Amino acid sequence: MATGEIPFDPSAEAWRSDAVGKEAPTVADIFSDPAWGAFREFALSQGIRTCWSFPLLADDVVHGILAIHHEEKRRPDEREIAVARRLARLAAVAVLRRPADEPLRRNAERHALAAQGADIGIWDWDIERDTLYWSPLLKTMAGLSPEDEPVPGTTFNDLLHSEDRERVEEVLERHLAERQPFDTDCRLRLPDGGHRWVRIKAQATWNADGQPVRLAGCLYDITDQRRAEDKLRAAWDAAETASRAKSLFLAAVCQELQTPLDTILGMEEILKDAVPNLPGTRRQESSATVFRSGQQLLGLIDSILDMARLEAEQVEFHEETVALAAVLDEAIQSVRLSQREPRHRLTLDLPSPLPVLSADRRSLKQVLINVLSDAVKSTSNNGRVAVRVGRIGEDLEIVVEDDGTGRIHDVAPSVLHPLYRIEDIMARRRQDITLGLFVAKVLVERHGGTIQVESKPDRGKIVYIKLPAERLPGGMVRQVDGPRAWRHIARHVI
């Protein structure tokens, strides 16, 4: 049999269906048949010497022609004619069905393209025959190879995450038994150990006895959606937590502002009514009380403003060469003056000379003031505050230790949070709000350093301030002016 293309002219006499009729005309020799004159040369060049024609007959109407070509010059025998006629009848049926099948074919093609474009896997479980079909995309989503054949009731259950298996089985049972919707989310385990979130929707059909006979459905990946939902939920929870924290913070600040204000106003009334008859010592005590309350109020307001500026990133840094000895001396002096009179022993363990830093002088001083002030406030009268400076590898470490009342072992990391002690304040167990360590933490981190708080075994805490080696220009140190720069450090009280 030759292959190839033969020119076709519908007007040619040999190809007219009415010319062919309902019988099977045969051309035993194309070379001598006049009907093949128009394309005899082409047919012979392709090795075609004989052509048998059989009509595609259905409902007594010829719908086409089945042509059989041979390389030899011969006529068909009866068996060949019978086989060809059967083939022609089947072809006629196919030709008739094609217009009816075309919408179905196009519809199936449309659904297949839509499912592929939407990344939807299709499955179909014939419950009566116990057969299961998975589309290629579904196999890919489940981590299977195209050659893998799913087993009904086994493959999918094995892929389900252990925490989701029972819930999905309950959804399936309710759908088959009670005809409730089959629509659920679950996780599929992947060969690499990870998992994929998927959404499953399905619909069953039931026989006359109410028994399920088929279950078909789709499955699509919702991993990105679930991750986005988790992030959104976490952001919402964080926002709610922040809102509650802000409310608590404002309540605590109002309470803290009220305490010194009440003291100042009360003492003002006493002084106004009793100044002429008030003894000198009593007058001094009252004045000192007003002063301490004013200092407490001013310190709280300064801390709040510092925190607000830091959160708004309104604090500008000015890098300069800073002598640590001078800054530490100024910080100790500032803390000492804020206490009106020294109340604690101050021990110092400092290298000589102290290093010179590349830092923002104001911020570094604020860090030391805040840490020292917190140590002083946390320690009872006649307690001890210790400061030591040293090198940890190439980094510089400043350590402030106090003998504060009680232990903070369980909450040591929390003292660097701006809202630490709010619960104590609301319960009236403490009368100060500690924003200083939070401000110090932010300023140290702006210098590329770290600050940590540890609880001491007995009582009190230790604050570690670590500044990176690049803050020590060339690792050089410089001796600063002796007596004047050390005049406050030399007094071992704070």
What's the N-to-C CA distance of the chain in angstroms?
113
Say which range, 68-82, 160-174, 372-386, 427-441, has the weakest mean pLDDT.
Answer: 427-441
Q: Quick check: do 13-114 and 118-221 share a fold?
A: yes
Write the CATH number of the domain with boundaries 315-485.
3.30.565.10
Say which range, 36-50, 183-197, 415-429, has the weakest mean pLDDT.
Answer: 415-429
**DSSP alpha helices (H): ranges in 316-466?**
324-338, 361-378, 422-426, 436-446
**pLDDT confidence of 115, banded at 50, 70, 90?**
confident
Q: Rounding to the nearest 10 degrees, give the CA dihedral for residues 382, 295, 373, 370.
A: 180
Write the CATH number of the domain with boundaries 118-221.
3.30.450.20
β 120-126/131-134 pair status: antiparallel
Whether residue 490 is predicted with pLDDT greater than 60 in this model: the reply is no
Displacement of CA 170 from its chain's centroid (Å): 30
Q: pLDDT at position 487, please?
A: 42
Of 287 and 444, which is predicted with more confidence? 444
Neighbours of 268 (CB within 10 A): 12
Q: Which pTM does this prediction carry?
A: 0.45
Q: What is the mean pLDDT of the chain?
A: 78
Cis peptide before 342 (omega within 30 of 0): no
Topology annotation, domain 13-114: Beta-Lactamase (3.30.450)
Give residues with Cβ within 8 angstroms of 103, minimum separation 6: none
Displacement of CA 56 from its chain's centroid (Å): 65
Residue with tokens 């078909």: 216
Give residues with Cβ within 8 angstroms of 194, minimum separation 6: none
* Domain 240-308, classified CATH 1.10.287.130, yes or no: yes
Q: Give 342's DSSP letter.
A: -
Q: Rounding to the nearest 10 degrees, give the CA dihedral for residues 215, 216, 221, 227.
A: -40
In the chain, where are the structural domains located? Answer: 13-114, 118-221, 240-308, 315-485
Average pLDDT on 54-66 reads 82
Q: What is the Cα–Cα distance from 303 to 460, expressed in whole angstroms?
A: 23
Question: Could you tell me which of 103, 47, 94, 89 has the C-alpha nearest to residue 70?
Answer: 47
- What tens digit of pLDDT does each residue of 191-229 get? 888 889 999 999 999 999 999 999 999 998 999 999 999
Say which range, 11-25, 281-295, 405-419, has the weakest mean pLDDT.
Answer: 11-25
